[in-house]
Every structure is written in C-alpha cells, then in structure tokens.
Structure 1
Amino acid sequence: MPKHVEARLGKRARQFIWQDKPFSPTNAETLFAPIDRGGRQLLDLAARNEAITVKDLCEYLIPLGEGRKTWQLLQDALLSLRTPKSGPTLHPAMKINVFLQTWKTSVGAQVQMSPYIRNQLQAAQNYGLRAEGIAFSREILRDMPIWFHAYAAPRMRKMHFSASSKCLLNNHTVRRVRDAENAAACLEHPCHSSSPECGCPHCVDAKTALKCMWPHRCFERARDLLDTLPPKWDPRQHQREDDEHGLPDQFAPPASEEWVQFDTTCITSGPLENSLCIFTSGDPHNDAAPEKDGYDPVHLVTIATDGSCLHNGTAKAVAGAGGFASPGHPANFSLRLPVTLTQSNQCAELLALHQAASFDPPDTQLFIETDSRYAMNAVSKHLHRHEDEGFIGASNGTLIRDTVARLRAREHPTYLKWVKGHAGHERNERADQAAGAGAALQAPSIVDIRPASWLRVSGARVTAVTQALAYRAIRQRKLEKYTSRVRMAMNIELAQDAAEEAFGYRPSEGQIWRSQRSKDVSREVRCFLWMATHDAYMIGEKWLRPSVSVEKQARALCPSCGVLETLAHILTACDSPGQREIWGLVRTLWLKKNRTWYDPSLGLLLACCNRQFKSTSGHLRFGDARLYCILITESMHMIWKLRCERVIQNEGAPFDPAAVRNCWVAAMNRRVNLDCLMTNTKRYKKRATPPARVTATWANVLHDEDNLPPNWARRGGVLVGITRDQVARGVG
C-alpha cells in the first residue's frame, strides 16, 4: 500500500474514532496498545502493511532449492544485479542468495528498484532475517553457499579473487559447501601428492575433464574456504546430530506409568529454507553444541515441583517455586521469583521446572513430577509450534524458552509426569510447601535463567510465518517502546490506592482496565471510563496551554466554584447542583443493600469495577459487587453529562436539584428494567442474563419489594426504592 494512501486511511480512522474533534486526546500508539496497557487494541494499519511485506518476503524464500518459481528466480537475478558499484565486481555464479551470504544489494533511493522488492529488503533488515538455529543437519550445512558464506570468518573475502578460487568457481563449478567439501576430500586420497604431476584419479580427472592446471592448489583452496567456517557451520566437524541416535535409554520407565520423555531434539533439518528465521534479536551465536561425555547414568532422581502465588493477579502478587525429591536431598529447593519475572502461579510453575532441570550431576537421570498442565504442555505438547513461531504471542514465552534450553542442556534424558495436586501425593505436597515457603521469603531470590550461548536462539521460521503472526510480532516490538501516558499512570495509581483502602486488595493495572470493560457497564459508560482514566477530556489546565487563545483559557476554571476544573472536582466537589444530589441518592439506595459506604473520590470511582464485598463468613457477595458497579458507573457518567449540558448548552445556568434527582431515579429505573429484559433467553440466547443474577443484584433496593411476584426478574416493571417524598426533599 502506498504511504500516502496509508496516511489518508489513518487520518480517516482517527476522525472516526474521535468524531471529527480538532485534536486527538491520546496518541495513536495508545489506541493500538492492548487492553491491559490502557489501549483500545485497534488495528495498526502501518503494522498490518508491514506484516504483508514480511509474508511476501517469506513467500519469496520458499523454496530455496529445487522447485523455485519463475518470479522467485527473476527476483534473485534483480537482486544480484543491484550490487554496489563501489565494491569489487563479483562473478554472477558467486551470488546465490543475499540472505545467506554477505554480499550486499543496493537499496538507496537513487537505485532503480521495484518498491515491492525494496520494502522486502527493508523488512529483512528491520526484523533480523538470518539463518538461526541451535544446530543444523549436515544436509542444510552442505546446501549453504560457500562463497561469501554468511557466517564465515572475514578472511574468506580475501580468498575469493585468487586464481585457485576462480578455477574452483569456473572449472570445478564449486557453488555450495558440499562442492567445496568434495573438492577438499580429494586431498585425503592415499595416492595424492602436492606435485603438479600428481597421478591420483582426482587430479587426473580434474586435468582432463575440468581443464584444471594445478588441482592440488584448488583442493587446498577448497579446504581453506571450509576452514573459515565456525564449527557450527562446518559439516566436517562434530555436530549435534551425531549424539541424537544410537544409544538406548537404559532407565526408561514403563509406558503404563504415563511418563513423557522430554524431546531434546534441537536439530533444524529438511530443506535449506528451514534454517532462515525472522524477528530475531541480538547477535547470532555460532558456538557448536558440546559433545556428550557418555550415556551411563548411575543414579535416578525423582523430584516434584510446584509453584505458589500470594495475592495472585493483583499488583501485590508474590510468587514462589519449590521442588522436593526426598528429605535432605541436594535437589530440594525453595525460592521466591525475581522481580524481573511476572509474579504469577504459571511463572512459578515454569521456574520450578527450570530449577529442577538445573540439578544435573553427570551420572544422574532425572524424573520430574508436576501438577501443572500448563507447564507440562508448554515444554512438550506445544513446544515445536512455539519454537517454529519464535514464542511470539506466547504467554511467558521467554521463560518457556529458557526452561526448554535448560532441559536440553542436560547430559541424560529427562522424563516428565503430571500428577494431581492436593491429592495426598507426598512429594507433591512437600513441593507445594516449599513453594509456599519461597513465596513467603522476605527478598526475591537471585536466579540465573539465561541459557548457555549455544542454546540461545530467537526468531520465527520463515516457513511458519503467517500474516497474523507477523502482525503480532511487529506490534510486540512496537509495544516494547511504548510508554504509558503520565496522567494515565497517575490515575491508575490513584485507583489502586483507593481500591486497596476500600476493598482490601490492590488490583493490577491490567485488572483495572479489564474490569472497566465489564458487561455490567454500558458501552457509553465504558468509553467515559477510558477517557477519564486517561485524563483525556479537554478540561482544567489543558485550556492553559500556550497554544490556546487567552479568551478560551478562561474555560480552565469551574464557572460555579471559580477553581481549576479537574475531573475530580466535577465528580466529587463541585457546588453546582448535580454531584451532591446524585451521590446522596446513591448512598441512600446502597445502604439498603450493604452497610459499607465509601465517600466518592476520583480513585475510588475509577476502581469501582474492581469492587469486592464479603459476607461475615468470608464469602464474596457478587450481587452487592454488581450493584455497586452499576450505581457508581451510571451515576458518575450522569454527573459528567449534566456538567457538559450545564456548561455548554445552558451557558452555566444551574439545574434544579429536584430535576437532578428525578433524572437519576429515572435512569436507575431504566437500568433495572433493562436487566429484566436481558433475561429473555428466546431473544438473547446464550447472551441472556440469568434471572438469579438480576435478583441478587437488585434485592433489598426495590420499591414495595415484598409484594413483587416471585418471577419479577423475568417480567420487569419494577422501580428502585427511592420514594417521591425523598426525591422532593432530597436525601443523603
């Protein structure tokens, strides 16, 4: 999509979102951000177009060998022709694929090139397209181009233009690593000598069939080229696949015991395109996998792991991980999660698995029991899909990747088994106690979860990339640079403090944002809550900006009170008839339901959807919580609407207090009857509200409730318990 079209569509989308306002209350990145971060999760058009380009790039790279289509070969040729003129002239046969070699193609604005191809090259550079993997099959290593090999030592570049190299290229038709390997292998023939007159079969064939004047020098140059490759990329060296076969597992448990062997296979095999990954990060690691010492475990260790989290899901969450093998065993552990990890039960289960795998004496085979299906599936059932997708969008993806790396680093096979938690399993119960003790520690534990360098990989395979996956990856990268608005962060902290004081727990930022999208809150009120939490309304000090005219700066003050008009002032402190009357009615109605009342503040109003009320026995009272949410959100939105009507339409003229109270009572009556209408299962099917929920919400606050029919929640026609007398004289 052309950039000017993208810009016009983006502008039109902003106009639709902000209803043709002359300014955007928040920046575009806030709209694109996820719900948990205070965004609206709208489509990022620029990221969507980038994702299409990335998908096109991946299509161009599949396949890289036989079966390549005409358009792909044409693009290869176009890229080959665009090498910088400032560099040395390269033989066309040397240039096989720009992403597998170190030669460059010009992408400057002065170079004539299709925008389609230019965008692909830019995307490859921005998102780290490169060959990436822990280890590769020799088939892939031999399919790599030998000239300008992407991971060869820099000294290789000096070898490309010698007479021997030219002979290898033109006469011996050496193009790939396998060709150089075959040429270098001629030096090992027992009859071969370094003399130009060598009569070994390879030299004779090279002289007669290939017209090579000095085969020995060409064979040596092929060997020199191979010697520039790091061990990870040299097919002549020991490779990981040499350790993947052959020796049986002499301590394998019976299949009837439901143990699952962890798959240590980490070899990238298949066609050459499987080696390419995109959305990589950091520098590539070319350390080869170490050779395994042997396969003779002497000791078997079974360890149970568990995780625990105090105040799970809140801002005060603290998690611990524990493992237990037997009393006094060195594999036992109890730790508190570092602050760099998400404090959740799932993270604790994964870290417990990681720490159990860290117990790796050279003569020990490990059996791990866990009561977490999530952790078990993360390193077994879903592992290959997550690895192919680069853990993009996976919850706790980094910790899963590090845990898998630790399991793969073990000398001997590891077996995993799921056990039911809290079912009298001795090791599991002791592991649960260890995890609880870890969560209760005063300070976080120091845990190094970084894998060994040869196990560090990143990125998604180009063969697994879809447009949706590419979009998630691009948005994930953008989100790493996203910073929350300062005013929003202050309001979130106000809401957390108020919720902690009123309800006894401190919700996380994500909980606050998700709760404001509750089904109990109407769509119009949700929008108001989002704007209020972001402090995005044009009120108060926003009118005092230098760009605002002096005449309009007077709007910064409340017309009734003469003080700076903030949202907190409008909702809780303004002297003009409105907020005082409405909160008085809310208090009167609420005290019929629950004897606990909190004076409204901005923080409490923003956190009202995170309400929690408990009975004397400690059980949550969901009906009370739902009614509180409805009363507070509807009332604060009405106060805001009345303020806007008074200031904008009525030019500051105050409302009659009785009219305000009548307006509120009518709104509550409409809301209770809307709840009754929503119980219609014939019309709303699965979306219908259960009648029991409506009854639990409005019980004890309805007018003449004792005389209502038993099924009033399905019939409607009920009124809230505020009498005309109370409306006329005012309450609260």
Structure 2
Amino acid sequence: MWLKRYLAFGPNRPLWAFLADALLANNTPASENSVPMDIRTNCYLQSWTTSTSPCSSQPTDLLKMIKTGQKYGVRIEGLAFDRNILRDMPIWHHIFADPRIRRLTNSSASNCLRLKHNLQTVGEAEDLAAPLIRVNGIQLQHRFNGQCECRDCIEIQELTECEHPHHCMLRAQELLDTLPPKWDPRAEQPADYEGNFTNFSVSQEENIFDYRLTTAGDLSDLFRVFTDKDHTPANETFVCNGELITVATDGSCINNGQDTAIAGAGIYFAKDDPRNKSLKLPQMAGGTKLTQSNQAAELLA
C-alpha cells in the first residue's frame, strides 16, 4: 500500500512521497555519483538506482518499500501509452532511453537546459525542439544558426536568459532521439488510429472486444505488479492495418473443480485458417501453479 501511494503521480500525491523522492535520490550507490542531483526525479521512472544495501543510510521504511517492490515485480509495463503519459515522463535518464542519454547530461547545452530552461520532462523537450521541425522539407521560421531572430528564439532568450537557443533546441532533440518509438511522443502511436474503430454497428448477439492497446491516465497508470523479471517488455509500437477481424474464443475444463482437472482453450478465425489454435493450460507459469478451471482457460483464450 505504501508503494502504491508513493507511485501515485497524480494531483493527489501525498506530501511524504515528495520527501521520499528526495531521500531516495540522496541515497544512491557510488556508481550513480555522476548523475546530478537536480535530475534525480524518481528511480522507477529513470535509469539511476537508489541504494538497497542495509549498510546504507537509506531510511528503514523506504528500504522496506523498495525491497517490497522488487519482491513483487513492480515496474512499468504495457503495450502502449497515451501521449500525455509519454510527455510527462522525465527526459533526463529516461528509464527506456538508449544508454547514450547518460552522456548528454553534463555538456554546456545540457547544463543550460537544466539550470536556465528548467527542462525536466519529455514534453518540455519536445516543445523546445519543435522549431527544428521541417514541413515538407522546408524549414519554417527558425534558422539553423546562433544568430536566429525568429519569434521562438527571442521568446526563449527573454524567458530563460539562454544565450544560444538553437544549441539548446538541438540538445533537446538529441535527448528525444534516444527514446525508442514506443516512448517517443513524436512517433506514430496506437492511439492515433484507435479512435477510428469506435462506431461499429453490432447485433444483440455480438459484443465488440475492446481492442485498444493504449493505457490512458497519468504516470501512476504505468505500473504493474507481479511482472516477470525474466521478460523484457517490447519497446516497438504496434501498427494497425484497419481491418476488422471477428475471432471466436472459448475455454473449457474436464473434471472442473477436481484434482484431476485439465483445462484448455481454443481460438477460431475461420475454417482452415492457420491462425486457429488449441491451447492447453500449463500447470505452472513463472513459478506459480495455475488452477485448472473453466475461468482460467477462458482467460487463456
């Protein structure tokens, strides 16, 4: 329960969670000494680690909370996420970024982003780099040099006292370029086409399966428990060709409710379709014994 409240990143996040952020950021292994304190936002959202050694100065309650999360497999997991979530992620040491993002932290441009622009999130980096976007191969107002006097550069100089807006835009773009497509708000996302399939006409005997892959909400909705530590979540985005498919699924169990129960499931697309499958419910999954039952078989299907 403490960990769940700690990871509640919405507007009602408890005050103690912000204090916990600071304590966890202050108690890190020596290997994280190169990570500036001002960018250590949250060890569940970024690639730096907090100390879990009993010999560290980590408060006992926080140490117990972190170890509980490790024990029960609490981590970010999901097929796709709403752009608002992607934009709210911290850009510095983003947990899913290419490791080279660590080398982009301490340059003069990065220091300016951190100290003058107060840049913290992916969304802020995307907004700052927006003037670099070309439309049909044509650069709009911004000019690729240090003497650009476009509206964006002038506004940045006035608001942040940044002396080289163009260099900071380029560094923001470099940071964004370390993100895999699944975590890059500039990339095509499943949410871009999911809205096109909401108005199907169905008969009373039919139900439309909620096919949407995208998790909406805020950063709190990123997390899952009981995840498989041996499984690495995919960072690719999913492409939909717009085809509506009708699939029949079902599960059943022989000797349901008895020790000799055996459960299985079936997936049917069409006659002689190679995608048709029959599946036997395994006895074990990830070290956990599975109950052989109708319900478990239907979930498998």
Shorter-chain TM-score above 0.5: yes
Quick check: 1:184 aligned with 2:129? yes
Q: Which residue of 2 aligns with 1:163?
A: 108
Where do 1:437-516 residues align within 5 Å? none
Mapped pair 1:197 → 2:142: no
Counterpart position of 2:136: none
Distance in 2 (CA, whole Å) between partners of 1:68 and 1:325 is 45
Compute the displacement of 1:266 (Å): 2.8
Q: Which residue among 202, 209, 214 is the counterpart of 2:164? A: 214
Counterparts of 1:619-638 in structure 2, within 5 Å, are: none
Aligned: 1:173 with 2:118: yes
State how far apart, in whole Å, the 2-side matches of 1:71 and 1:173 are: 23
Distance in 1, Cα, partners of 2:222 & 2:120: 18
Q: Secondary structure of the equivalent of 1:156? A: helix
Q: 2-side partners of 1:244 and 1:335: how far apart?
A: 26
Deviation at 1:293, TM superposition (A): 1.5
Partner of residue 76, structure 1: 21
Q: Distance in 1 between matches of 2:51 and 2:150?
A: 45
Partner of 2:216: 269
**Which residue of 290, 306, 311 corresponds with 2:238?**
290
User: Contact 1:321–1:334 (CA<8 Å) still a contact in 2?
Assistant: no
Equivalent residue runs for 1:555-704 within 5 Å: none
Q: Give the CA deviation at 1:168.
A: 0.8
Q: Does 1:235 align with 2:180?
A: no
Query: Greater share of strand residues, 1 or 2?
Result: 2
Match of 2:202 among 239, 253, 259: 253
The two structures have a TM-score, normalised by structure 1, of 0.36
The Cα offsets for residues 557-583 of structure 1, whole Å up to 9 and x where unpaired, read as: xxxxxxxxxxxxxxxxxxxxxxxxxxx
Q: Letter of the aligned partner of 2:215 in structure 1?
A: T
2:196 aligned counterpart, secondary structure: coil
Q: Please state how far the C-alpha of 1:110 moved relative to its aligned partner.
A: 2.8
Q: Rate the CA distance shift 1:312–1:179 in 2: closer, same or farther, 3 A.
A: closer
Match in the other structure for 1:102: 47
Instruction: Give the alignment's TM-score, normalised by structure 2.
Output: 0.82
Larger Rg: 1
Give the drift of 1:270: 1.0
CA distance in 1 between counterparts of 2:259 and 2:37 reads: 60
Q: 1:210 to 1:314 in 2, by over 3 A?
A: closer
Partners of 1:109 and 1:90 lie apart in 2 by 22
Q: Which 5+ residue runs of structure 1 have no aligned equivalent? A: 1-54, 347-373, 375-394, 404-732
- Distance, in Å, in 1 between the alignment partners of 2:235 and 2:159 is 40
Query: Matched residues in 2 for 1:333 and 1:114: separation?
Result: 53
Distance 1:160 1:77 in 2: 20
**Structure with more relative contact order (C-alpha pairs < 8 Å, separation 6 or more):** 2
Change (3 A) 1:316 1:105: closer
Report the 3-state secondary structure (helix = DSSP H, G, I; strand = E; otherwise coil) of the residue aligned with 1:244: helix
- 1:209 to 1:122, Cα distance in 2 relative to 1, 3 A: same
Residues 182 and 333 from structure 1, CA distance in 2 versus in 1: closer, same or farther, beyond 3 angstroms? closer
Structure 1 pair 197–56 and aligned structure 2 pair: CA distance change class (3 A): same
RMSD: 3.2
Residue 115 (structure 1) aligned with residue 60 (structure 2) = yes
Deviation of the 1:204 alpha carbon: 1.6
Match of 1:141 among 65, 82, 86: 86
Consecutive unaligned residues in structure 2, runs of 5 or more: 134-138, 284-289
Look up the SS of the partner of 2:20 in the other structure: helix
The one-letter code sitting in structure 2 at the alignment partner of 1:340 is P
SS, match of residue 205 in structure 1 = helix
| CA deviation after TM superposition for structure 1 residue 275, in Å | 0.7
Distance 1:331 1:291 in 2: 22
Identity %: 33
Aligned length: 289
Map of 1:278 onto structure 2: 225
Deviation at 1:228, TM superposition (A): 0.7
**Alpha-carbon distance in structure 1 between the residues aligned to 2:68 and 2:250:** 43
Residues 264 and 281, structure 2, Cα contact 8 Å, conserved in 1: no
- Considering fraction of residues, name the structure with more helix: 1
Which residue of structure 1 aligns with residue 11 of structure 2?
A: 66
